[in-house]
Amino acid sequence: MDGPPASPTLEERIARKRLLSTEELPTLPDVVRRILEITGDPLSSTRQLTRLIERDPALTGNLLKLVNSAYFGFSRRIYQVHDAVVLVGYSTIRGLALGTSVITTLKTGPNLDARRFWEHSLGTAIGTDLVARELGHEKAEMAFIAGLLHDVGVLVMALALPDRRWPPAGPEDADPLQLEVNAYGMTHAAAGGAISRQWRFPPELTRAIEEHHLDPHGDPATVGDLARLVFLAEWLVEGQHRMAGDPVGTERDAASVAVSLGHDLRAVLKVAPKLNSALGQVDAMLSMGLV
């Protein structure tokens, strides 16, 4: 079940206000606002979304680059947004459109390895999508975008405080999230939740961003479903697609989260071969000039 998120402390509220008032933070592009409005309306149509995307040349170009990447594996090249929507699906196009808009809007500074960040974000997006589909989850249509934007708070903090190192330095045995609080006054998950509210993201997406690390001592069932799917995807992602300084749950944690979603860990592990294969396409996707 999805209960309300915990209220922020006074220190967190002060840190959020300071972080979100910086002039370095861009406003959300109008096209993204319209995508959110259209896709949040149950009466909206594929035609409305297609027309909106086609009015933005940069978004159209980036979207078609992704659709034509090896990850989707189409035998012919896709030249029209309408064809992409038909072949890939409404929900996937929505996620790609939102994701590419945010990627091109939020440029990282010298204190953050942009390539490594987007490798992790794309890897987690693919993993979250695969886990959601394997588990037959009812929110599978939001999984890709939740995985792609789960660490948007890292970008927010890197933009707002470009003189600070990411990830924050500290003892090897230190809690990475506590190091973030010490350096920035809040965690990247809290910063991501704050910017997503300011940008009026759908509530379930905001919760996924804000809660994706979970509380290791809490009941996972009190955390949003999408956040748990992102957690499992991050646990599955390995190697270069791991984010430096990002805490990773244990196998016991993953098993507990899987059970809270009505499955055992074996169902999640079925995704691993597909994910490892798909991660091989991340470099190709990032070589298209999005970052």
Closest alpha carbon to 120 in 131, 112, 109? 112
Q: What is the pLDDT of residues 250-279, one digit of tens each?
A: 788 889 999 999 999 999 999 888 888 777
Q: pLDDT value at position 108? A: 63
Tokens of 181: 């609080």
Give the span between the Cα atoms of 246 and 257, in whole angstroms.
18
Asked if residue 57 has pLDDT above 60, the reply is yes
Find all residues with CB under 8 Å of 289, minimum gap 6, and list them: 65
Q: Where are the alpha helices (DSSP H) in 55-167?
A: 57-67, 81-88, 90-105, 114-134, 143-149, 152-160
The full set of domains in the chain, from first to last, is 16-286 (1.10.3210.10)
| Per-residue pLDDT, 181 | 83
Identity of the amino acid at 130 = L
User: What's the average model confidence in pLDDT over 12-20?
Assistant: 66
Q: CA-CA distances (angstroms) from residue 176 to 151, 180, 227, 268?
A: 14, 6, 19, 25
pLDDT tens sequence across 76-125: 899 998 888 888 777 677 767 776 677 666 666 667 777 788 888 888 98
DSSP per position, 197-248: HHTT--HHHHHHHHHTT--TTS-GGGS-HHHHHHHHHHHH--GGGSPTT---
